Amino acid sequence: MPHPDEHALHNLLRKLQLHHPLAADDQQAVLNLPFKRRLVEAGSYLVREGDVPDRCAVIVTGFAYRHKLTGDGARQILSLHIPGEAVDFQNMFLEEADHNVQMLTRGEVAEIPRHALEEVALARPEVGRAIMVTTLVEASIFREWTLNIGRRDARSRIAHLLCEFAYRLTAQGLKPGSDYELPMTQEQLADATGLTAVHVNRVLKTLDSEGLIERERRFIRIPDWDSLRLAAGFSELYLHLDQMVPHSRAAH
Amino acid sequence: MPHPDEHALHNLLRKLQLHHPLAADDQQAVLNLPFKRRLVEAGSYLVREGDVPDRCAVIVTGFAYRHKLTGDGARQILSLHIPGEAVDFQNMFLEEADHNVQMLTRGEVAEIPRHALEEVALARPEVGRAIMVTTLVEASIFREWTLNIGRRDARSRIAHLLCEFAYRLTAQGLKPGSDYELPMTQEQLADATGLTAVHVNRVLKTLDSEGLIERERRFIRIPDWDSLRLAAGFSELYLHLDQMVPHSRAAH
DNA sequence: CGTACGTTTGATCTTTCTCAATAATGGTGG
DNA sequence: CCACCATTATTGAGAAAGATCAAACGTACG
């Protein structure tokens, strides 16, 4: 939950500046963007394949995921999204959405009209660039997921996803402690890693018994960050968090 | 081979306009970009992980691929690139390349200084938008590959890659006939699909014996486009080739 | 407090991988 | 043009990771 009187786009600004710091007036321009707050249930769609995007949803609270389906109805989750992230940069300049974005949990989004966003991006080159950079970082994460699914075994894949999520939460200032909630069912975890739910369950148990993670409901605690990183083959360079305090240091 | 007196950036312009048509003066601005031609051997690197990008390579002739490696040295090919494609849009606005781009074949590239490209993108919003759109389409292809590797079986994966390559060649005007050369070893095909070379070989033979493809060296002929599409679960929407003549119609 | 959803577990099956050997192919120097 | 070498393609046999099927167990929430 954000502080009640905190600006709904504060998190978006934070996210943009993770990759491209902005001057005070550019910051203000982002915060001045028009938007409409909307409460959304778990499972509700923020974007549907085939939609013509006319607005851009920013997550204020809650979590979302991007996915697409094969002709046979198999689902692949393509990315996870946390508060502060704009889920429509990927679609905004295209005619038609090529995938779905759905809420993982209940939450709140701020919807910014597309034209307002385009106007600011054009009038303020540094804001435009911040959007571009943020979009490119997302593409970098897509690539890492392809590597993860294509070339790592089940144990590493899941460990990698757990590392990435923790890292991104920390970067966004959303993870004060050494544990966090991973707001996904094992079925969703399976669809994110190209596995089956049954196998995900077994791998989670293995990671648990190996002492790499501790689980309580969907809360994950990572007792030894370096061991999990090793198991995952995780390297955070692809997140392009240049100006960040490294997670491992923050955790000590 | 391009016509000898054809402009080296002609193909880039064509590619950009596949997704976002440009006015005459914007077109001219693209063609006026400064560049240096360079001959490159098969296997030479256009981008290396860790590079600070200061120029953007456009493929004039030949083919390239994008890839990254796990800590254990396993390679995942992330995308294929054909003449006219700019290989560095993904890195240009980031501090540091997070993956490699390597030539698949011998060929020629035109290297455009980064600052010149940024200047044009800024001075000419429509060119900037064309670059943005092209980059987003690339991201869409990354997502389709994740789906392909995560949720399709080996046969569909390979069929899908064959469909995509044919489609993109056609869109770029590089495939006049009903066959094409797929300039990859089976090992590279394996790294692109998350399989092993041995299994790729077996699947290719299966596709061949099923009559879905005919092979002669690395030339692929697709006798019945619709059957291969079906086997692949291929739908071209993710390529965002809005203004294109559909391949199936062009093939009739 | 019951129902739907999510998790856990076992048994068995299948795809794909691994290892290993052989056969083509293409390019190179003589 | 030919012989040679390195790379790539093909094939077989056996192993393994992960999928499938099925059932039981938890637990959140209306």
DSSP-assigned states of every residue in A57-114: EEEEES-EEEEEE-TT--EEEEEEE-TT-BTTHHHHTSSS--SEEEESSSEEEEEEEH
Q: Which residue has the tokens 């995952």?
A: A232
CA pair distance A105, A101, nearest whole angstrom:
12
- pLDDT, tens only, A13-70: 999 999 999 999 999 999 999 999 999 999 999 999 999 989 999 999 999 999 999 9
Write down the pLDDT at residue A102: 96
Picking from B72, B78, B140, the nearest residue to A146 by CB comes out as B78
Write down the pLDDT at residue A215: 94
| Residue in chain B nearest A149 by alpha carbon | B150
> Bigger pLDDT: A213 or B248?
A213
Write down the pLDDT at residue B174: 87
> Bigger pLDDT: B242 or A187?
A187
Residue A7: band (very low, low, confident or very high) from pLDDT cuts 50, 70, 90: confident
Contact assignment for B70 to A152 by CB distance below 8 Å: yes
- Min Cα distance A210 → chain B (Å) is 21
Q: Which of residues 169-198 of B touch strand C (CB under 7 A)?
A: 194-196, 198
Write down the pLDDT at residue B175: 83
CB-to-strand D contacts below 7 angstroms: A 153-155, 194-196, 198-199, 217; B 185-187, 197-198, 201-202, 204-205, 215, 218
Contact assignment for B132 to A90 by CB distance below 8 Å: no
Strand C close to A201 by CB, under 7 A:
yes
- Greatest alpha-carbon pair distance for chain A in Å reads 55
Name every residue whose Cβ is closer than 8 Å to that of residue B47 and which is 6 or more positions away in sequence: B53, B57, B87, B88, B91, B97, B99, B100, B101
Write down the pLDDT at residue A251: 40
Give B-chain residues touching A233 at CB under 8 angstroms.
70-72
Q: Which residue has the tokens 């006319």?
A: A54
Query: Is the confidence at residue A248, as pLDDT, over 60?
Result: no
Residue A199: band (very low, low, confident or very high) from pLDDT cuts 50, 70, 90: very high
Residue A252 burial class via C-beta count within 10 angstroms: exposed 0-12, middle 13-18, buried 19 and up:
exposed
Lowest mean pLDDT among A107-111, A161-165, B136-140, B177-181: B177-181
Q: What is the mean pLDDT of residues A131-146?
A: 97
For an interface test with A, the pick among B78, B81, B98, B122 (most A C-beta atoms closer than 10 Å) comes out as: B98
Write down the pLDDT at residue A115: 94
Contact assignment for A133 to B93 by CB distance below 8 Å: yes
- Min Cα distance B75 → chain A (Å) is 7
| Strand D footprint nucleotides (protein C-beta < 7 Å) | 7-13, 17-22, 28
For an interface test with B, the pick among A67, A98, A133 (most B C-beta atoms closer than 10 Å) comes out as: A98
| Residue in chain A nearest B136 by alpha carbon | A90
Residue A249: band (very low, low, confident or very high) from pLDDT cuts 50, 70, 90: very low
Q: What is the mean pLDDT of residues A146-166?
A: 97
| C1' (D23) to CA (A210) span, angstroms | 27
Task: Provide φ and ψ at A246, rounded to 5°.
Answer: -60, 145
Name the residue with the least CA to C1' distance from nucleotide C24: B217
CA pair distance A74, A210, nearest whole angstrom:
31
Picking from A98, A122, A137, the nearest residue to B140 by CB comes out as A98
Residue A99: band (very low, low, confident or very high) from pLDDT cuts 50, 70, 90: very high
For an interface test with B, the pick among A146, A191, A226 (most B C-beta atoms closer than 10 Å) comes out as: A146
Write down the pLDDT at residue A245: 44
Beta bridge partners of B181: B219
| Residue in chain B nearest A20 by alpha carbon | B94
Q: Select from B69, B14, B8 the least CA-distant residue to B241.
A: B14
Are A234 and A154 in contact by the 8 Å Cβ rule? The answer is: no
Write down the pLDDT at residue A3: 53
With a pLDDT cut of 70, the percent of chain A lying above it is: 94
Q: Is the dihedral of CA B246, B247, B248, B252 positive or negative?
A: positive
Write down the pLDDT at residue A35: 96
Give B-chain residues touching A191 at CB under 8 angstroms.
150-151
Contact assignment for A194 to B96 by CB distance below 8 Å: no
Say what angle helices A154-171 and A197-209 make with each other, to 10 degrees: 80
Residue A5: band (very low, low, confident or very high) from pLDDT cuts 50, 70, 90: low
Write down the pLDDT at residue B219: 92
Write down the pLDDT at residue B251: 40
Both tokens of A52, joined, read 């013509």
Write down the pLDDT at residue A250: 42
Point out the residues of chain B with pLDDT beneath 50: 1-2, 245-252
- Min Cα distance A249 → chain B (Å) is 22
User: B86: which DSSP letter?
Assistant: B
For residues B131-163, one letter each, b for 16 or more C-beta atoms within 10 angstroms of the residue's C-beta and e for the rest, the string is: bbbbbbbbbbbbbbbbbbbbbbebbbbbbbbbb
Write down the pLDDT at residue A119: 94
Contact assignment for B139 to A137 by CB distance below 8 Å: no
If you compute the radius of gyration of chain A from its CA atoms, what whole number of angstroms results? 18
Q: Is the dihedral of CA B87, B92, B94, B97 positive or negative?
A: positive
